[in-house]
């Protein structure tokens, strides 16, 4: 067995952005890229190494180079997806989102897919995957969807929870045999509206039907999956859906797709 075949899978994490800000007391006027420590630790719990994926410079390193050196991609949560990315204007200024990050992540999604390497989206990651495949979003669930359910509540934040229903016959349902409904956390105010090409719904909110999980079904054995909740924050609470099966499924594919 070669040294390369024995090594831990290398998983790239898409970056959150602090854009250049001349009023910031540190790194004045500089663009910063960062990750959530909990996400890195969650992936490491499955026996993988995590690497923050930078934006490629204008010369030298390319997106192709970054993808070649990694075994899979996880898209983190974070800022809103910009409505202009899917052909709409923001209904409110605070829903402008991060158009630069959108372009960066969409490029990564397509390059990892073309390389036959798995992609897992979390929260915003689920939304940008949907947009990358031609779908659209509700800019704000509270004002655009008929529901009494709070999908985001700042005070409890990741302790805000609700039930979902797993769609029978999907790969996500197969990861949880015997489970039809489950509890997940919920910290998002945008959600999938029109589903992207070749994507299938794997879970919905039981209260209002909001889409909570997606997967690519293109017939080419590509692995692109997404959940609207944050499995990295789920912990070991008995009532919550265990996060390990999602991670294990993703990392199994990453281990099998190394070139």
As annotated, the active-site residues are: 123, 230, 232
Question: Kind of pairing, strands 224-227 and 119-122?
Answer: parallel
Element (H, E) at 17: strand 16-18
- Four-point Cα dihedral 203, 209, 214, 218, nearest 10: 110
Q: Sign of dihedral through CA atoms 89, 81, 180, 155? A: negative
| 195-to-102, 119, 201, 213 alpha-carbon distances in Å | 17, 17, 8, 11
**Spatial separation of the C-alpha atoms in residues 13 and 36, rounded to whole Å:** 9
**Spatial separation of the C-alpha atoms in residues 174 and 194, rounded to whole Å:** 25
SS3 85: helix
The DSSP bridge partners found for residue 184 are 162
């Amino acid at each position: 067995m070669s040294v390369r075949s024995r090594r831990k899978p290398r998983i790239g994490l898409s970056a959150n952005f602090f854009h250049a800000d001349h009023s910031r007391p540190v790194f004045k006027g500089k663009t910063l890229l960062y990750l959530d420590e909990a996400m890195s630790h969650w992936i490491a719990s499955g026996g993988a190494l995590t690497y923050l994926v930078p934006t490629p410079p204008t010369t030298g390193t390319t997106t192709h180079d970054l993808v070649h050196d990694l075994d899979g991609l996880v898209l983190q949560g974070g800022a809103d997806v910009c409505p202009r990315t899917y052909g709409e204007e923001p209904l409110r200024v605070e829903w402008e989102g991060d158009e630069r990050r959108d372009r960066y992540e969409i490029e990564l999604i397509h390059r990892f897919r073309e390389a036959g390497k798995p992609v897992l989206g979390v929260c915003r990651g689920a939304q940008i995957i949907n947009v990358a495949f031609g779908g659209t979003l509700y800019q704000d669930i509270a004002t655009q969807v008929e529901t009494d359910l709070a999908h985001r509540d700042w005070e409890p934040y990741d302790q805000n929870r609700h039930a979902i229903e797993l769609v029978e016959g999907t790969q996500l349902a197969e990861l949880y045999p015997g489970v039809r409904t489950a509890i997940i956390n919920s910290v998002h105010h945008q959600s999938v509206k029109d589903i992207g090409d070749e994507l299938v719904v794997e879970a919905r909110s039981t209260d209002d039907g909001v889409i909570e999980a997606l997967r690519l079904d293109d017939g080419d054995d590509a692995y692109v999956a997404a959940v609207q909740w944050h499995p990295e924050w789920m912990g070991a609470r008995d009532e919550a859906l265990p996060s390990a099966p999602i991670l294990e499924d993703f990392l199994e594919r990453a281990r099998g797709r190394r070139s």
